[in-house]
Structure 1
Amino acid sequence: MPQWAPGTWPPLDWARDVPIRLSPHIIPNPNNAHLPMIGWNVTKHPSMAKRLTPNHVIVDMSSISGDTVTHTKANTIVVTCDVGHMSTLWGPIVIDQSEPVTLRDLFEAIYEYFQIPLTHPEVQYICGLHPSNLRRLTDAYYERCRESVALPGWEARQGLKRADVLGDRKYWWGVWMSSRCGVWWLNLGLMNPVHCLPPP
């Protein structure tokens, strides 16, 4: 059964004091790093996410969505995600609230972060990095509109979003902790869909 673990990546021995533990449901799979314990395309609403139980049964997230992200409980969590040059421009995902941050809060914050529309200067910057980037952006945009649960025409009118920068690396892999100068934060790992759980 999953247990509270340091949640660092690569995993640290308990002999090294890790003051914060992450929910065992959201860390990279310690038994098989190629098989995430959460099946979620971060461009889709968190209600679409599924989880893999220890018995390898795929179920929805409702039974754990109210669990806290960390032990001890934290009201503020900072999440970084490596999306190339855009990571510097966009900054981290910051969750700061009066109540302890739950898995539902974490997933909704990640989803909302990638739903932010791209500005015209951002699109110009991305397209200037490589000649094929415009095609990749538009391909991801059309795929997102086609797969949306909303009406495709309504989704298309929303324009390009941060989610379109992810390409095929838009599936949850896990989060792990890092520390610098005594400050801890979460790292969000994304992967391509080759090893992901089947879509709902």
Structure 2
Amino acid sequence: MPAWPTLSPFGNPAIPPHSMTMTTSTPFGQANLTLFGPSREDGAPLWMSGTFPPIPYGIAVPIQLNPLLIVNPNDPNCPPLQWDVSRRPDTAVQFTGRELYVKPDLDQEAVAQDVHRIVIQSGAPSLASWMQRWGPIEVTSAGKITAYDVLEAVYQYLQIPLTPREYKKAIKLDPENARRFHEAAYWRIATSSQIASVEQAQGLKRVDVLGDYKYFRGFRPVWHEGLWAVIMELGARGVLNHPMVY
């Protein structure tokens, strides 16, 4: 791996190597049904928490995510859970409707229904194309699947080293990918709590294809190829209304 460059931390995602076709939070069961939304007092409609797009309160839904994990229906750029997916899940913070940062309770169940397998796809076009090669993220458990389980599966999936073949194909497609990869890796290591020399020795990782688009913006459930899947939305640091807290 070449020496780390001194480059801007706001990098673009790498083009895929193939053509592009504190305080604890409220428990899930007691969560405010109008998270970031209108209150009962003002007479506005209530929405089922954990659904995106929002579904009016009282309508049965086949899959309902923990409100911690959803895309904020009022402001997609301000997710309830703010997390850099290049870092471990325990670095995530929750931004509440009272505009407070609190420690999220990641031991809550991820899905209201009795679910033992979650398939995660990407809503970010660049990562979605890479995942056509890598396959989806899958979370399985004989018992309940917690919010932590889901975030940990995402983290571990993106920590897998980028193979030499993937790197070479990406560079062949666009020589600028070399700069994108190393810029992302440089800033990942420079801001990591891990020992820099150890991190650098591990080389490039899947997360480095994201550039600066590595900030969690929530999941949304969709019907995908005969199964209920969860789509993960990501954004750049600059699109967040509030600073990340580490």
Shared fold by TM > 0.5? yes
Deviation of the 1:180 alpha carbon: 3.3
Contact 2:50/2:70, CA 8 A, preserved across alignment: no
Contact 1:77/1:94, CA 8 A, preserved across alignment: yes
Within 5 A, what are the aligned runs for 1:59-74?
Answer: 59-61=102-104, 64-74=105-115
**Per-residue Cα deviation, 1:110-134 (whole angstroms, up to 9, x for no partner):** 1001000011111112212212111
Secondary structure in structure 2 of the residue aligned to 1:105: helix
Secondary structure in structure 2 of the residue aligned to 1:22: coil
Q: In 2, Cα distance between the equivalents of 1:73 and 1:197?
A: 35
**Per-residue Cα deviation, 1:16-55 (whole angstroms, up to 9, x for no partner):** 7521111111111122222111111000111111001221
Deviation of the 1:13 alpha carbon: 4.7
Matched, 1:100 2:144: yes
Q: In 1, Cα distance between the equivalents of 2:194 and 2:144?
A: 31
Contact 2:180/2:211, CA 8 A, preserved across alignment: yes
Within 5 A, what are the aligned runs for 1:54-133?
Answer: 54-61=97-104, 64-81=105-122, 82=124, 83-133=127-177
> Highest CA radius of gyration, 1 or 2?
2
The change in CA–CA distance for 1:21 and 1:124 in structure 2 (over 3 A counts) is same
Contact 1:169/1:192, CA 8 A, preserved across alignment: yes
Identity fraction in percent: 31
Contact 2:162/2:206, CA 8 A, preserved across alignment: yes
Q: Which moved more, 1:174-183 or 1:89-98?
A: 174-183
Within the candidate set 175, 180, 191, 1:147 is matched to 191
What is the Cα-based RMSD across aligned positions, in Å? 1.8
Contact 2:83/2:244, CA 8 A, preserved across alignment: no
Within the candidate set 90, 93, 96, 1:50 is matched to 93
Q: In 2, Cα distance between the equivalents of 1:181 and 1:26?
A: 22
